[in-house]
Structure 1
Amino acid sequence: MPYEPPTHTVERSLRATTGAKVIAGVDEVGRGAWAGPVTVCAAITGLRRPPAGLTDSKLLTVKRRTELAAELREWVTGYALGHASAEEIDDLGMTAALRLAAVRALEGLPVRPDAVILDGKHDYLGAPWRVRTVVKGDQSCVAVAAASVIAKVHRDKTMAELGIDHADFGFAANAGYPSPVHKAALEERGPTPYHRLSWAYLDALPRWRHLKKVRVRVDGAASEVEGQLGFDF
């Protein structure tokens, strides 16, 4: 299906209105998975013409996405990846884990950005970063699209490697997301060390639901169960 290529419109707007010179695009992958880390990429691209075919990673075939990621890693001015583990997601909750991963990525860049373009409508990053949120930024903004492709390819590779010792779970194909193979392995074997134990999928596993973690709010006023971003079987 034809799609409009991403542009530097948001980057140019930030330069004009805020004086920002170094702008990073930020995107995440793995938010809705049952297993594995949430991964964030921060990419600085400048205003150069991007490689042909750049768009949201989800719109690309695996082959093209992998090829494009290799091109982008050479083309971008700089990029860095940050991760929050399944254990950190369980302990902190997804919003705080996303921020942790994003800060790790931004602090890994060769230069600190003056502004950040964050994919989506929610600013999970906050101060002291100067943030512009853009819905579907991974389709419309060059820097965010580049970040989305690099993050997706990196995390998929990571999940395939984690799956070597857990072949029944199909991580190489499902990257830790819900799938029939993943569900069947969970029912038979229970969660691996890479699974998020606060996620709602455990409610549907009678043999393993005792493993579910409940996170207590910092103020101790109440408990809240993470995993509402998980999917029912």
Structure 2
Amino acid sequence: MARRTSDSPPLFEIIAKPDFSFERSAMRDGHAPVAGMDEAGRGPLAGPVVAAAVILNPRRIPKGLDDSKRLTFAQRETLFDEILAKAEAVSMASVSAEGIDSVNILRASLEAMRRAICGLHIKPKMALADGRDVPPGLPCLGRALVKGDQRSQSIAAASIVAKVMRDRMMCGCGRADQRYGFEIHMGYATERHRSAIEIHGAVPRLHRASFAPFRIAAEAEIEVEALV
């Protein structure tokens, strides 16, 4: 008698690693080369959103590619160098805090990814995007993959490049203005960052005025002025 397959949930979450299957499938359909694209910095209160696009060399894929959030600082730095050395093409782009405020973070993120794809010196025929949305205006076919940085090695590579570049930019901001500790929290809403904002206020063109707490504070000031 055949043993029945259990329908019980696994005791431990099985964490999948990204592979090259989506890319190979697209290549078999005639859509080579294939680029992966991803962004870093959608959630912080300060700094740009940075995107990267990467066309991997199928014969020289760096080992250990994964979602940048699942890697350590040292692993990201090592893989960043490997990606730049081994990939067929790499491009980076960003949208500033002012640009984010003028549209919204989703549109700014998609625009940064579009710019990164357009900046590749090799034109891809297919671009794989992390998330649910394909950036509008791509010069090639596009496909969105939910949790793509954990499924596609090309997207994972792009996530690493975007994360490393944005972190380096925020460290530069920290050196330029030491009051906020940008080199520690990278612009995210940590207790230290919020405390610094309460003491020193927002930095023009660096903090995102459309994000809370800045938007809430601005709305409160308008209400007070209306009552005067």
| TM-score bracket, shorter-length normalisation | 0.7 to 0.9
- Aligned with 1:170 (options 176, 181, 200): 181
Q: How does 1:30-179 map to 2 (within 5 A)?
A: 30-125=41-136, 128-179=139-190
Q: Which runs of 5+ in 1 are unaligned?
A: 212-233
Q: Please give the secondary structure, in 2, of the residue aligned with 1:51.
A: coil
Aligned to 2:194: 183
Q: Which runs of 5+ in 2 are unaligned?
A: 1-12, 223-228
Percent identity for Structure 1 against Structure 2 = 37
- Matched-pair contact (CA < 8 Å) for 2:35–2:53: yes
Taking the aligned partners of 2:97 and 2:171, their CA distance within structure 1 comes to 16
- Matched-pair contact (CA < 8 Å) for 2:114–2:137: no
* Residues 41-90 of structure 1: CA deviation (Å, up to 9, x unaligned): 00000323522221111011111111111111111111000100000111
Query: Structure 1: which 4+ aligned runs deviate by more than 6 Å?
Result: none
Q: TM-score, normalised by structure 1?
A: 0.82
The structure-2 alpha-carbon separation of the partners of 1:94 and 1:40, relative to structure 1 and needing over 3 Å to count, comes to same
- Matched-pair contact (CA < 8 Å) for 1:95–1:124: no
Q: TM-score, normalised by structure 2?
A: 0.84
- Aligned with 2:33 (options 16, 22, 36): 22
Aligned to 1:192: 203
Taking the aligned partners of 1:93 and 1:205, their CA distance within structure 2 comes to 18
AA aligned opposite 1:141: S
Is 1:13 equivalent to 2:11 in the alignment?
Answer: no
- Aligned with 2:213 (options 191, 198, 201): 201
Q: How many residues align?
A: 209
Taking the aligned partners of 2:188 and 2:114, their CA distance within structure 1 comes to 24
- Matched-pair contact (CA < 8 Å) for 1:114–1:130: yes
